[in-house]
């Protein structure tokens, strides 16, 4: 079992909340903080490149935590691009919307 656990990888933005990294530490799963660029937006291309690299290195892409409203700069990851990749790669996608997500229930947003 440890062999599988040691190969699992979680992906998130370098702008995501620190709780994502702490959860990975508690679960003993490697966290890859991907570059969100100057705009603070994690893009699908960045995610796909990381997944491809990890698969070549016999890692198991397991989980992606995208963000709608990062606490550091209120940026939004490109969930359309990320979602398509997760669907194709069969990776669990969670969208953290704790900061700005509440506004999304309003029709004007």
66 vs 98: which has the higher pLDDT: 66
Return the pLDDT at 99.
72
* Total-model pTM: 0.88
DSSP states of the chain: -HHHHHHEEEEEETTS-HHHHHHHHHHT-EEEEE--TTTT---HHHHHHHHHHHHHTT-EEEEEEEEBS-TTT--B--HHHHHHHHHHHT-EEEEE-TTTGGGGGSTT-
Does domain 2-98 bear CATH number 3.40.640.10?
A: yes
Convert the pLDDT of each residue in 72-104 to its tens digit.
Answer: 777 889 999 999 999 999 999 999 887 777 777
Q: Where are the domains of the chain?
A: 2-98
């Amino acid at each position: 079992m440890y062999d599988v656990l040691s190969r699992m990888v979680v992906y998130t933005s370098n702008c995501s909340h620190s709780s994502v990294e702490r959860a990975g530490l508690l679960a003993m799963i490697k966290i890859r903080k991907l570059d969100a660029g100057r705009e603070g937006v994690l893009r699908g291309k960045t995610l796909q490149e990381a997944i491809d690299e990890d698969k070549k290195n016999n890692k198991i892409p397991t989980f992606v935590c995208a963000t709608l409203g990062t606490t550091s700069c209120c940026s939004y990851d490109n969930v359309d691009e990320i979602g398509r990749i997760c669907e194709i790669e069969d990776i669990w996608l969670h969208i953290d919307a704790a900061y700005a997500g509440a506004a999304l229930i309003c029709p004007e947003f």
